[in-house]
Structure 1
Amino acid sequence: EDIWCQGFSEPGAGSDLAGLRTRAVDGGDHFVVDGQKVWTSGAQFADWIYLLVRTDPAAPRHRGISYLLVDMKTPGISVRPLVLMNGHRHFNEVFFVDVPVPKANLVGPMDQGWKVAMTTLMYERKGGGGRGHDGQIARLGTLARELSVDGAPAWDSPLVRQRFAQLVIEAAAFKYTRLRNLTRQLRGEPPGPEVSILKLFGSELGVRVADFAGELLGPRVLVNRPSEDVPDAPRWYNRVVSARQYTIAGGTSEIQRNIIGERVLGLPKD
């Protein structure tokens, strides 16, 4: 099996992806690619990369973009990991210098890769909100019953119970929204702009779970090693430190709100 990564974002083209500048120049039977990608998950392990490149710099921004499949072992490609605040290294910068790519590796028509890219992103966003938060929330409920605050279990506080109940409700809503989307797939329908609801709600719910964990565990959440009170403390340290990134990766929450407003609710762009 091959491992793939996704070469979309660039230092100057993240949410504004149509501003990408990585170039692919006609070299006869191949393209010659030069440029840089960033925030490329798993690039250091990948065999291949889905790559968005600009093939017609004179065309309007959303046109003149092509979608290539590139072998990561091709000479001229280098990968540099980006170290996150939690110590993880799954994001990377990827550099392309005079990289030859066969024209047979072009996906879809030349200069019309934007539509292919949007289809790719819809499938990514379908899972971008997480696979579910039920296990984390259940564990926080157990911790609330075990941890003591001011001499009494944290669970005795009505504020803790209220926050917990709200998370359970939101997780259930997220679960059934995901099941509706799965039904579409089983009917053979492609994902549509409504997957932005999953991406937005799921990633923001992850932040709310992390906030509750931080408030419940207090200073314990800052210790990245097991303790007697919280044997799975590293899990919560990483949850709190890492949660916000999922509201950015795969399209920011602001971008998802725009998509929902314009393409699901039919609101005007301005």
Structure 2
Amino acid sequence: MKSRIFLLLCLAICSLQQVKAQTVKYQTDQHIVNQQERMVHKQWDRKKFTPTKGFLGLNYQYWLTWGLHPNYPKTDLRPLSVSGPQTQRLLLVAAMKNTEEAYKKHVDTLRNTALGEMAGYAGAVSLTDPLWQLYYRKEFQPLIEQIDPLQGSTPEVQNYLTRIGVLEWYREETQALAQRLNSATTTNMDRGSRIMSYHSMLEEYRKLLATWEAKKQRAVLYLKVSKVNAQVKEPSEPIVAQPGRTDRQIVDDILRKSKL
């Protein structure tokens, strides 16, 4: 039992000596501390350059330390000083960031401009143009949908226009105009040229519609005149002069029968 206690005491004494041997004393060198403070963040203070000159400049440690580097205390070598390398690096990074943002804005502007020009130039998206949607599509709707041009006309007028070839002429003109309109909407061109093409074709289409309406009206008038002439040449009831009637009454009867 006593031997065990003695052994434990020996082990405890050895462990305490080992801990004491591993203890490191922290040494502070004020010269190194000053240099660290100068280089990192604090002011480049010439008064804190140690060792100092001492009384009448007789401190030999000062001359041994700074005698070979007389300009070192005068030159601010802090990385974060006004002209320090780290400050310049940060300024350069900020300048490069501003330049990058300016380039990015410029590129975005070019991209938006290119997309806008492409939208106005490409024929694939020409039908989405606001001017086409709001105006020209409505004006060209009969031409695009190929509505029957004889709609609303009497069978006599339809047969007459078909027989003399006016209907075929009108259909050829509208088909040619529709092909030109389709080319203007699908071909790649700038928006101004496309709008001018729409305007020019719209004028031609309106003239063609006016001509077609005039031809239909003339056909109606011609058929009426032809019918009247046929009735006058071959009256259904002969006009018989009745005794006691004046010339004015006879003329009125003739005009009344011609209107039938």
The two structures have a TM-score, normalised by structure 2, of 0.25
Which structure has the larger Rg? 2
Instruction: For CA contacts below 8 A with separation 6 or more, give which structure has more relative contact order.
Output: 1
The two structures have a TM-score, normalised by structure 1, of 0.24
Higher relative helix content:
2
Higher relative strand content:
1
